[in-house]
Amino acid sequence: MRKNKPTPTVQSLFEPRSIAVIGASASPGKIGHSIMNNIVSGGYRGSVYPVNPKGGDMFGLPVARDINDIEDDIDLVSISVPAPLVLQAVEACARKGVKHIQIITSGFSEIGNTEEEHRIADIARDHGIRVLGPNIFGLFSAAASLNATFSASTIPSGHVAILTQSGALGIAMIGKTGVENIGLSAIVSLGNKCDLDEADLLEYLVAQEQTKVILMYIEGVKDGEELISALNRATRHKPIVVIKSGRSKRGAMAAASHTGSLAGSDAVFDAIMRQCGVLRADSIEEAFNWCKFLAFSPLPSGNNTVIVTNGGGVGVMATDACERFGIELLDDQAALKKIFGPATPSFGSTKNPIDITGGAGAPDYELALSAPVGSEQIDATIALYCETATFDSNNLAAMISDTFTRHRTAGKPISYAVVGGEKVDAAMRKLVVENVPVYADVYDAVSAMGAAYRYRRFQSDRPDQAEMAEIDLARIEAVIDNALAENRTFLLSNEGAQVMEAAGITIPQTRVVKNIDAAVHVADEIGYPVVLKIVSRDILHKSDAGGVALDLDDRTELVDAYEAILHNARQYDPNATIDGVEVAEMIRPGTELIVGARVDQSFGPVVMCGFGGIYVEVMKDVAFRASPLHRNEVLAMLKEIRSFPILMGVRGEKQRDIDTVIDTIIRISTIIERCKKITDIEINPIVVYGQGEGIKALDARILISKINTGGKPS
């Protein structure tokens, strides 16, 4: 774990007044040459100092033999010397008192050379230097016209900022942004993240006006708790799109060996991104589609969307996609008829999708797509075009450009899908230059609009402050300390039950008695029906020994069963020590959930809930959230479970006690937050009864750690 960080000064990383290049080279083909070339030819406005022991001149600039020969203060140093020379170079930078270093060089933790990387990070930290990398392609910052990368020499300036852990993919993304005409405000290669990571850089990008959307490619998260806070702050202001590799187990292993970082559980990552309002894309294509849309379109201000099409088939495809991406279609037939009637032929349809039919020409589209601009009832439009003989596709680009501008000026988003041949392709290329979000596939156009909707909804329904419950912390800690004193890393079931009680979570009533009168007395107190179980350290499998009697409805049944199980136990093992008989409440059947919490290696405390019982492993119907959390977020987590409708009551069943389930999850979240020696809690099952009837936590398994790890497992 990182020690104290120096105060971040990321602004001077993105907007340095001076830059030195250690490993600058006059030989074309070398990385140190490309970096120098890109800095100089990219129009960087600050001072540039090449450093190379050979001295002389390059790119018309005098070369310093050592960074300490430079008189000027240095904000940023780029290092591209072979790995064995990097440490010395960093030491020289420390003597010089530079602010930031980007280490291009490979050959550190990604190949197991972790020790050297730590030494570099330690020296930098001790001298208040922030380090990017190692194992990176560099940094581009439009704000300083600085291209300190060894990728393309021309990177168009624009509104998307990219943070990428993979260098090669980052370089490829620069190429793709060029083709798609998505200008960049910044692109930063993070590599092994020995110091600076996504969380540090987000702060600058969120404050920087030019950046409208942030795209992150992540392979592994080192300091997840810090990332969560940074993302929570950032998504208040700007949409963030993330691509994370390592969804599969094998992929996660590949990612771990690629960057030497912890890939973590993908399900947890996915849930936490959603919790932070981050839009996770499945592919680079999808991420770019979303960025293009979010950078150039306003967000919808309400939920009413219309689809306008000249083809029924694509209209149906878009309708299906809207359902998938949670886009609501305006369904007020009278209003739709009034708005779109004048633009729709009698054989078309004003039902949403609005079908202006295959005979529609450019003026018909202009008319139909102008209608939403002035309508208070429509918040967003998806416009579809299939190439037909009646619409001269030479006019397509002008029609789209014009209607897009009108929608944007009115503060309304519109996304286009155009399907056709060469002329349609030519129109798309033209529109790409004008930054109009137009897609060659219906699904892509809808998915981009869906991303805008998800971000807007997150903005308006941001979860409130996290909640903590009242728990008896001292009692829980006493139970844990007792178990630790016995060198255990787990709690026994009766200890688990004590923790539940101390946290205010209802468990079945149970007591151990030594004679039949006491059993009768306790059963009267608990209320029938009850269960009897033999208590003997020598009899582990109670049922096999005939030591369990279920569903005892009255005193007579209780007395008979008491004698029977004692008799059975003695027969089973005549030498067994009988410690007593447990009288327990007979648990009524209900809906079984699993609720848990653990300290995740990457993200710290996370909570989990799902449908429980014995099939939990097979069903895998579970949802996760970072802890602590607000009740609304707990409800959102429950709703993510596929079987949630069962909690709401199906086929005339009563709704289950969802409020108590939420309360229980908050209590579990509080335990994992406050008891730093607990690393895992799993209650399976929690039996949930009808509304107002509560829950019973039947079996709590708790793992503990000897060392107080402050939230991370030892």
What are residue 279's DSSP bridge partners?
Answer: 241
Choosing from 10, 19, 35, 81, the residue that interacts with ligand ACO (CB under 6 A) is 81
Find how far residue 503's CA is from the centre of its chain: 29
Considering only the stretches 9-17, 49-57, 152-160, 409-417, report the one whose residues sit in contact with ligand ACO under the rule CB under 6 A.
Answer: 49-57
Smaller CB distance to ligand ACO: residue 27 or 487? 27
Query: Footprint of ligand ACO on residues 158-217 (CB under 6 A)?
Result: 167-168, 171, 189
Residue 93 binds to ligand ACO (criterion: CB under 6 A): no
Q: Is 246 helix (H, G, I), strand (E, B) or coil?
A: coil
Smallest separation (angstroms) from ligand ACO to the CB of 540: 56
Smallest separation (angstroms) from ligand ACO to the CB of 39: 15
Q: Is 24 helix (H, G, I), strand (E, B) or coil?
A: coil
Smaller CB distance to ligand ACO: residue 178 or 361? 178
Write the DSSP symbol of residue 315. Answer: H
To 10 degrees, what angle do helices 631-640 and 266-275 make? 130
Smallest separation (angstroms) from ligand ACO to the CB of 86: 8
Residue 649, phi then psi, degrees to nearest 5: 95, 120
Residue 54 binds to ligand ACO (criterion: CB under 6 A): yes
Can you tell me the distance from the alpha carbon of 616 to that of 596, in angstroms, rounded to the nearest whole number?
12
| Residues binding ligand ACO: number (CB under 6 A) | 29
Structure tokens at 315: 């209209």
CA angle 142, 220, 243 (to 5 degrees): 55
417: Cα within 13 Å, side-chain hemisphere: 27
Smallest separation (angstroms) from ligand ACO to the CB of 251: 18
Smaller CB distance to ligand ACO: residue 22 or 445? 22
Smallest separation (angstroms) from ligand ACO to the CB of 52: 4
Smallest separation (angstroms) from ligand ACO to the CB of 217: 12
Residue 38 binds to ligand ACO (criterion: CB under 6 A): no
Residue 218 binds to ligand ACO (criterion: CB under 6 A): no
Q: Is 163 helix (H, G, I), strand (E, B) or coil?
A: strand
Smallest separation (angstroms) from ligand ACO to the CB of 98: 14
Cα dihedral sign, 140-142-143-147: positive
Residue 78 binds to ligand ACO (criterion: CB under 6 A): no
Smallest separation (angstroms) from ligand ACO to the CB of 175: 12
Smaller CB distance to ligand ACO: residue 89 or 581? 89
Smaller CB distance to ligand ACO: residue 58 or 532? 58
Smallest separation (angstroms) from ligand ACO to the CB of 89: 6
Residue 53 binds to ligand ACO (criterion: CB under 6 A): yes
Q: Is 164 helix (H, G, I), strand (E, B) or coil?
A: strand
Can you tell me the distance from the alpha carbon of 12 to that of 102, in angstroms, rounded to the nearest whole number?
13
Smaller CB distance to ligand ACO: residue 25 or 350? 25
Residue 35 binds to ligand ACO (criterion: CB under 6 A): no
Smaller CB distance to ligand ACO: residue 175 or 363? 175
Considering only the stretches 24-32, 436-444, 466-474, 658-666, report the one whose residues sit in contact with ligand ACO under the rule CB under 6 A.
Answer: 24-32
Can you tell me the distance from the alpha carbon of 619 to that of 623, in angstroms, rounded to the nearest whole number?
12
Choosing from 34, 37, 78, 80, the residue that interacts with ligand ACO (CB under 6 A) is 80
Considering only the stretches 130-138, 406-414, 425-433, 603-611, report the one whose residues sit in contact with ligand ACO under the rule CB under 6 A.
Answer: 130-138
Q: Are 344 and 356 in contact (CB under 8 A)?
A: yes
Token look-up 């009899």 returns 539
611: Cα within 13 Å, side-chain hemisphere: 16
Token look-up 């602590």 returns 628
The region, left, alpha or beta by phi > 0 then psi within -120 to 50, assigned to residue 43 is left
Token look-up 């009897």 returns 532
Residue 245 binds to ligand ACO (criterion: CB under 6 A): no
Residue 22 binds to ligand ACO (criterion: CB under 6 A): yes
Residue 142 binds to ligand ACO (criterion: CB under 6 A): no
Smaller CB distance to ligand ACO: residue 172 or 566? 172
Can you tell me the distance from the alpha carbon of 552 to that of 86, in angstroms, rounded to the nearest whole number?
76
Query: Footprint of ligand ACO on residues 386-425 (CB under 6 A)?
Result: none
Residue 29 binds to ligand ACO (criterion: CB under 6 A): no
Choosing from 14, 16, 20, 32, the residue that interacts with ligand ACO (CB under 6 A) is 32
Smallest separation (angstroms) from ligand ACO to the CB of 208: 24
Token look-up 């959307």 returns 213
Can you tell me the distance from the alpha carbon of 192 to that of 190, in angstroms, rounded to the nearest whole number?
6
Q: Are 624 and 267 in contact (CB under 8 A)?
A: yes
Considering only the stretches 82-90, 408-416, 515-523, 677-685, report the one whose residues sit in contact with ligand ACO under the rule CB under 6 A.
Answer: 82-90
Choosing from 93, 104, 396, 687, the residue that interacts with ligand ACO (CB under 6 A) is 104
Can you tell me the distance from the alpha carbon of 370 to that of 305, in angstroms, rounded to the nearest whole number?
14
Considering only the stretches 77-85, 274-282, 379-387, 608-616, report the one whose residues sit in contact with ligand ACO under the rule CB under 6 A.
Answer: 77-85
Can you tell me the distance from the alpha carbon of 37 to that of 40, in angstroms, rounded to the nearest whole number?
5
Residue 111 binds to ligand ACO (criterion: CB under 6 A): no
Can you tell me the distance from the alpha carbon of 578 to that of 562, in angstroms, rounded to the nearest whole number?
13
Can you tell me the distance from the alpha carbon of 220 to that of 247, in angstroms, rounded to the nearest whole number?
11
Q: Are 414 and 381 in contact (CB under 8 A)?
A: yes
| Burial profile 503-528: b = 16 or more Cβ within 10 angstroms, e = fewer | bebebbebbbbeeeeebbebbeebee
Can you tell me the distance from the alpha carbon of 557 to that of 540, in angstroms, rounded to the nearest whole number?
25
Smallest separation (angstroms) from ligand ACO to the CB of 319: 43
Longest CA–CA span in the chain (Å) reads 104
Considering only the stretches 133-141, 287-295, 444-452, 494-502, report the one whose residues sit in contact with ligand ACO under the rule CB under 6 A.
Answer: 133-141
Considering only the stretches 105-113, 315-323, 523-531, 680-688, report the one whose residues sit in contact with ligand ACO under the rule CB under 6 A.
Answer: 105-113
Judging by beta carbons within 10 Å of its beta carbon (0-12, 13-18, 19+), is residue 303 exposed, middle or buried?
A: middle
Considering only the stretches 98-106, 324-332, 573-581, 644-652, report the one whose residues sit in contact with ligand ACO under the rule CB under 6 A.
Answer: 98-106
Residue 84 binds to ligand ACO (criterion: CB under 6 A): no
Smaller CB distance to ligand ACO: residue 83 or 426? 83
Residue 31 binds to ligand ACO (criterion: CB under 6 A): yes
Considering only the stretches 132-140, 309-317, 510-518, 536-544, report the one whose residues sit in contact with ligand ACO under the rule CB under 6 A.
Answer: 132-140
Residue 135 binds to ligand ACO (criterion: CB under 6 A): yes
Considering only the stretches 103-111, 348-356, 533-541, 604-612, report the one whose residues sit in contact with ligand ACO under the rule CB under 6 A.
Answer: 103-111
Q: Are 224 and 602 in contact (CB under 8 A)?
A: yes
Q: Are 113 and 120 in contact (CB under 8 A)?
A: no
Can you tell me the distance from the alpha carbon of 611 to that of 74, in angstroms, rounded to the nearest whole number?
58
* DSSP element (H, E) containing 454: helix 442-460
Q: Are 507 and 664 in contact (CB under 8 A)?
A: no
Query: From the CA atom positions of the chain, what is the Rg in Å?
Result: 32
Smaller CB distance to ligand ACO: residue 171 or 662? 171
Choosing from 77, 136, 314, 634, the residue that interacts with ligand ACO (CB under 6 A) is 136
Identify residue 524 by its one-letter amino acid code.
D
Choosing from 106, 370, 395, 401, the residue that interacts with ligand ACO (CB under 6 A) is 106
Residue 612 binds to ligand ACO (criterion: CB under 6 A): no
Residues that bind ligand ACO (CB under 6 A): 22-23, 25-27, 30-32, 51-54, 80-83, 85, 89, 104-107, 135-137, 167-168, 171, 189
